[in-house]
Each structure stands twice: as structure tokens, then as C-alpha cells.
Amino acid sequence: MKETRMYIKCDRCGKETSVGIEKSKIENGKTIETWEGLPDGWITTIDNKDLCPDCAERYRELQKKFFQK
């Protein structure tokens, strides 16, 4: 069975995850697909970068340290 999936790759460490299509419908002759939500902790973008949960946490800690000084 074939399945259409969207792959998300962390721009920092390269860790990957994927999501499938939750539902699709046809309107005016065009197929409209709705994707499942990202797994818990996955951030879509921070400063135009896709980050996994580990890298997002490190990034936030780095920001905290930087702005506290």
C-alpha cells in the first residue's frame, strides 16, 4: 500500500519524523489535503528553522542565557 507522507527534518541535527494525511476532500475539482499534527515536542519553525524537541530546547536555553546578560 502506498501512502503520501510529509517528512520533517531538523535543520540542526538531521533527526527526522513524518506525518500522514489526516483527511482529503475534493472541492471545485481540486484535492485538498489536511496533514496530521506533528508529534509532541516537534516545533515547526523557530527563526525559519525546523527543530526537533532536543534542539528546540537547547536553542531556547541559549536564547535565555544570551538575553540575561
3 or 67, greater pLDDT:
67
- Distance, in Å, from the CA atom of 9 to the CA atom of 20, rounded to the nearest integer, reads 15
| pLDDT higher than 90, residue 1 | no
Q: Kindly state the average pLDDT of the residues 5-34.
A: 87
What per-residue confidence (pLDDT) applies to 69? 64
18-29, pLDDT tens digit by residue? 888 887 778 788
| Contact between 43 and 51 (Cβ < 8 Å) | yes
How far lies 13's CA from each of 1, 2, 8, 42, in Å? 31, 28, 12, 13
| pLDDT higher than 70, residue 30 | yes
* E-strand stretches of the chain: 5-9, 16-27, 30-35, 43-46, 49-51
What per-residue confidence (pLDDT) applies to 22? 83
Give the pTM: 0.69
